[in-house]
């Protein structure tokens, strides 16, 4: 097909999807009002149809990208014929129009999956869920139809495209937006069920149980998105760090924080029938902040509020967010009487209390980060001058909050539900506390003398101790009771209660990450040197010999690399080649750092520049313990997957739903 025909089909598919999503909202509403279930069936078919049509639209755009149809404005501005196929594929979500289409497409697929999952259950909630999903879908379709059409054609066909931004041509950047968007979009599902519960008055914890996996997988993908983003910053941006409190990074972290609070607080509702309103509010915040995150990344508003008017998208997002919040608050207010707590909190020394504190801290960190992120825009609106907030603000506020959260992670595992007796507590705290004290004293003699480091490592040791004791106890109980050997007991322990022990694996991962973050934040060293060819320079235990620059042309870029032979304490550890890549189509350089990782520290080399006589300027950075951050993330992800996989106990819970509802009503 000719580009014009392809573009027409794509544009028509999107307009049709928009029309159908409006129909779905109306039909599902009518089915409830007029008690005509056939209209709900029709609305559900509408969702499936939207899934099909948006898939077609995304496929057309992807086809146009891969076949370099530069007549498409989006293709011409985001690909070039010489760039690797991988990044031509990822150009689908590399720009504004494409990424909004990607959002709409993912949501349509998710909506269809939800309806298939719930064909025989939760039928009372489905009309409201369908209405909200179609409403949100309609919003994103409206944006791609009215404001940011990916199927806009140019008057002529350019000979060559501009190519994807070279900074984005990295495998991490291929996967980072996908995972981030899977997370953002996924939170729409639990929120839709929360609204369904409010709309129908079925306010037991069924909506939470039904969407637990959706929330958990979305959270996992958001975490992966953060991980890939950090990794990308570390290996591609080449400033030696992985987190800069950049507004774009923050806008992914903020919903992650509220989602983490939500994952914890729903346990209190499931166990004790408490925090019902709070849980509704948390999932609403997570959804809104995901939308806000999409908006902040996509609109350019971060640079200046003036982009708000220019981009046209601002008012649309504001109106959508406003409508959702108002609708939510109205429903919540109408149901306040039915959201009474079923239990009371008794003691500040209880696991419930630690969960409450955890929630306050997570939400506090989310608001502090949000405040620092949007303050420049607010100040510009109010005073005309933009006042921005630097990274130290985020570190000063969030550092202590995060450390308190980590400490709480350890306390929580040691403290009982309802009311803990001081004697029991003292007994439980003893061993981890001694472990922490031992570590702190050892570190002190290893000449780590700064307070922040000692506190952070001490807390990490305390939490790790408490988690290991928890595993030890579980294993010992099984060994005694069933005569299993320790390894079998461990596997069975996790298998029998994946949610709990998977959660503990997540916590272990976080402790490891804390070790990495503490080491690389507090003890980073860096130095910049000018190397003449053949010159040798020593930095701490490393000796670097510069062998010269070499240029290698690649398909779409020229690579200029500095070869450095490195020895550590006199032992050769190989040649490192930090380089700069010059991308011809974009006329832009990217920095390719060279990293030599060990569990102890990373040696991180940046080629900062060179002169005509062959002298190279190399920045040497030593990042202690940073590998533990990535290891911790790996453990964290395994733990989340363990907790998200089906749990045999839950199958038993799910079957007699009437029985449980009777129990919760009692």
Partner 1 sequence: MQNVIATPDIRATTSPRAGSLKFLIAGVLIVAAMAFAVLASFQDNTVYYLTLPEFSAQKAKFAGQVVRVNGPLDQASIQLDQKTMVLKFNMKDGGIVQPVVYKGVVPDTLTNGESVVAEGKLDAQGVFQANSILVKCPSKYEESK
CA distance 186 to 216: 9
CA distance 365 to 397: 8
CB 191 within 8 A of CB 280: no
Beta bridge partners of 602: 597, 623
Nearer to partner 1, 163 or 516 (CB): 163
CB 99 within 8 A of CB 76: no
Query: Of 43-51, 82-90, 194-202, 645-653, which segment contacts partner 1 by CB under 8 A?
Result: 645-653
Query: Of 285-293, 325-333, 346-354, 560-568, which segment contacts partner 1 by CB under 8 A?
Result: 346-354
- Dihedral, CA atoms, 295, 298, 303, 307, nearest 10 degrees? -80
371 contacts partner 1 (rule: CB under 8 A): yes
657 contacts partner 1 (rule: CB under 8 A): no
Neighbours of 75 (CB within 10 A): 27
CA distance 246 to 244: 5
Query: Of 187-195, 323-331, 380-388, 408-416, which segment contacts partner 1 by CB under 8 A?
Result: 380-388
Nearer to partner 1, 389 or 638 (CB): 389
Q: Which of residues 6-25 bind partner 1 (CB under 8 A)?
A: none
Query: Of 217-225, 238-246, 569-577, 636-644, which segment contacts partner 1 by CB under 8 A?
Result: 238-246
Q: Which of residues 559-598 bind partner 1 (CB under 8 A)?
A: 580, 586-591
401 contacts partner 1 (rule: CB under 8 A): yes
Burial class (CB in 10 A: 0-12, 13-18, 19+), 468: middle
Nearer to partner 1, 135 or 232 (CB): 232
663 contacts partner 1 (rule: CB under 8 A): yes
528 contacts partner 1 (rule: CB under 8 A): yes
Nearer to partner 1, 248 or 277 (CB): 248
Q: Which of residues 448-507 bind partner 1 (CB under 8 A)?
A: 497, 500
Task: Name, in order, each residue with C-beta under 8 angstroms of 209's C-beta and a sequence gap of 6 or more.
Answer: 270, 653, 654
Q: Which of residues 144-163 bind partner 1 (CB under 8 A)?
A: 162-163
Nearer to partner 1, 17 or 279 (CB): 279
Beta bridge partners of 315: none
Nearer to partner 1, 204 or 627 (CB): 204
Q: Applying CB under 8 A, what is the total number of residues that bind partner 1?
A: 85
664 contacts partner 1 (rule: CB under 8 A): yes
When binding is defined by CB under 8 A, the residue of 118, 165, 312, 524 that contacts partner 1 is: 165
Query: Of 26-34, 121-129, 268-276, 539-547, which segment contacts partner 1 by CB under 8 A?
Result: 268-276
CB 66 within 8 A of CB 85: yes
In the complex, least distance from residue 356 CB atom to partner 1, rounded to whole angstroms: 7
389 contacts partner 1 (rule: CB under 8 A): yes
CA distance 37 to 35: 6
407, containing H or E segment:
helix 391-414
In the complex, least distance from residue 622 CB atom to partner 1, rounded to whole angstroms: 16
660 contacts partner 1 (rule: CB under 8 A): yes
Nearer to partner 1, 42 or 497 (CB): 497
Q: Nearest-CA neighbor of 135 among 328, 333, 330?
A: 328
Phi-psi label, residue 124: left if phi above 0, alpha if psi -120 to 50, beta otherwise: alpha
In the complex, least distance from residue 610 CB atom to partner 1, rounded to whole angstroms: 6
Q: Which of residues 177-196 bind partner 1 (CB under 8 A)?
A: 177
CA distance 316 to 303: 19
CB 104 within 8 A of CB 179: no
Q: Which of residues 43-82 bind partner 1 (CB under 8 A)?
A: 77-78
What are the tokens at 120?
């025989």
Q: Which of residues 96-135 bind partner 1 (CB under 8 A)?
A: 96, 99
Query: Of 42-50, 285-293, 614-622, 625-633, which segment contacts partner 1 by CB under 8 A?
Result: 614-622
Q: Which of residues 405-444 bind partner 1 (CB under 8 A)?
A: 418
When binding is defined by CB under 8 A, the residue of 125, 133, 254, 353 that contacts partner 1 is: 353
When binding is defined by CB under 8 A, the residue of 5, 38, 385, 481 that contacts partner 1 is: 385
Q: Which long-range contacts (CB under 8 A, 24 or more apart) does 641-644 make?
A: 641/220, 641/502, 642/494, 642/498, 642/501, 642/502, 642/505, 643/216, 643/498, 643/499, 643/502, 643/503, 643/505, 643/506, 644/213, 644/216, 644/217, 644/220, 644/502
Nearer to partner 1, 23 or 271 (CB): 271
What are the tokens at 73?
């404005």
386 contacts partner 1 (rule: CB under 8 A): yes
């Amino acid at each position: 097909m000719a580009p014009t025909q392809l573009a027409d089909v794509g544009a028509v598919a999107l307009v049709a999807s928009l029309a159908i999503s409006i129909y779905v909202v109306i039909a599902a509403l009518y089915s409830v009002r007029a008690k005509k279930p056939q209209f709900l069936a029709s609305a559900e078919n509408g969702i499936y149809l939207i899934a099909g049509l948006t898939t077609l639209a995304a496929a057309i755009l992807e086809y146009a990208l891969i076949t370099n149809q530069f007549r498409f404005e989006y293709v011409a501005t985001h690909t070039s014929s010489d760039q690797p196929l991988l990044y031509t594929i990822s150009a689908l979500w590399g720009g504004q129009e494409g990424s909004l289409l990607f959002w709409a497409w993912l949501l349509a697929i998710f909506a269809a999956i939800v309806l298939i999952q719930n064909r025989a259950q939760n039928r009372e909630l489905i009309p409201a869920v369908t209405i909200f999903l179609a409403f949100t879908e309609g919003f994103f379709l409206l944006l791609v139809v009215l404001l940011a059409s990916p199927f806009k054609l140019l008057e002529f066909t350019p000979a060559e495209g501009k190519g994807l931004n070279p900074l984005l041509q990295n495998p991490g950047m291929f996967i980072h937006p996908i995972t981030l968007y899977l997370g953002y979009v996924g939170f729409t599902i639990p929120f839709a069920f929360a609204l369904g519960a409010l709309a129908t008055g079925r306010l037991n914890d069924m909506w939470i149980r039904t969407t637990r996996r959706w929330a958990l997988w979305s959270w996992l993908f958001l975490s992966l998105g953060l991980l890939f983003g950090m990794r990308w910053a570390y290996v591609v941006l080449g400033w030696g760090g992985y987190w800069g409190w950049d507004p774009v990074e923050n806008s992914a972290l903020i919903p992650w924080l509220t989602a983490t609070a939500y994952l914890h607080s729903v346990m209190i509702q499931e166990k004790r029938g408490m925090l019902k309103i709070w849980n509704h509010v948390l999932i609403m915040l997570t959804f809104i902040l995901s939308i806000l995150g999409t908006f902040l990344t996509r609109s350019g508003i971060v640079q200046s509020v003036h982009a708000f008017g220019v981009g046209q998208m601002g008012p649309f997002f504001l109106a959508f967010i406003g409508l959702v919040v108002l609708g939510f608050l109205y429903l919540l207010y109408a149901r306040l009487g039915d959201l009474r707590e079923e239990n009371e909190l008794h003691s500040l020394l209880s696991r419930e209390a630690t969960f409450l504190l955890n929630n306050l801290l997570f939400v506090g960190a989310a608001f502090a980060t949000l405040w620092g992120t949007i303050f420049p825009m607010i100040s510009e609106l109010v005073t005309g001058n933009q006042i921005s907030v630097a990274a130290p603000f985020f570190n000063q506020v969030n550092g202590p909050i995060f450390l308190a959260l980590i400490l709480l992670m350890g306390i929580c595992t040691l403290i009982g539900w309802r009311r803990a007796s001081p004697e029991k507590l003292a007994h439980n705290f003893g061993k981890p506390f001694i472990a922490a004290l031992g570590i702190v004293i050892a570190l002190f003699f290893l000449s780590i003398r700064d307070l922040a480091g000692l506190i952070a490592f001490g807390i990490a040791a305390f939490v790790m101790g408490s988690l290991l004791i928890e595993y030890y106890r579980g294993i010992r109980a099984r060994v005694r009771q069933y005569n299993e050997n320790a390894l079998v007991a461990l596997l069975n322990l996790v298998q029998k209660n994946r949610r709990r022990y998977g959660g503990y694996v997540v916590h272990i991962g976080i402790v490891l990450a804390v070790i990495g973050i503490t080491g690389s934040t507090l003890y980073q060293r860096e130095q910049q040197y000018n190397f003449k060819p053949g010159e040798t320079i020593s930095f701490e235990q490393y000796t670097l010999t510069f062998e010269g620059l070499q240029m290698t042309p690649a398909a779409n870029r020229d690579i200029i690399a500095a070869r450095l032979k490195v020895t550590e304490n006199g032992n050769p550890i190989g040649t490192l080649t930090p380089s700069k890549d010059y991308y011809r189509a974009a006329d832009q350089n990217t920095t390719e750092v060279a990293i030599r990782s060990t569990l102890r520290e990373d040696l991180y080399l940046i080629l900062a520049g060179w002169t005509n006589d062959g002298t190279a300027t190399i920045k040497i950075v030593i990042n202690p313990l940073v590998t533990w951050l990535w290891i911790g993330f790996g453990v964290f992800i395994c733990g989340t997957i363990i907790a998200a996989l089906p749990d045999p106990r839950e199958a038993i819970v799910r079957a007699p739903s009437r029985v449980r509802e009777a129990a919760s009503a009692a």
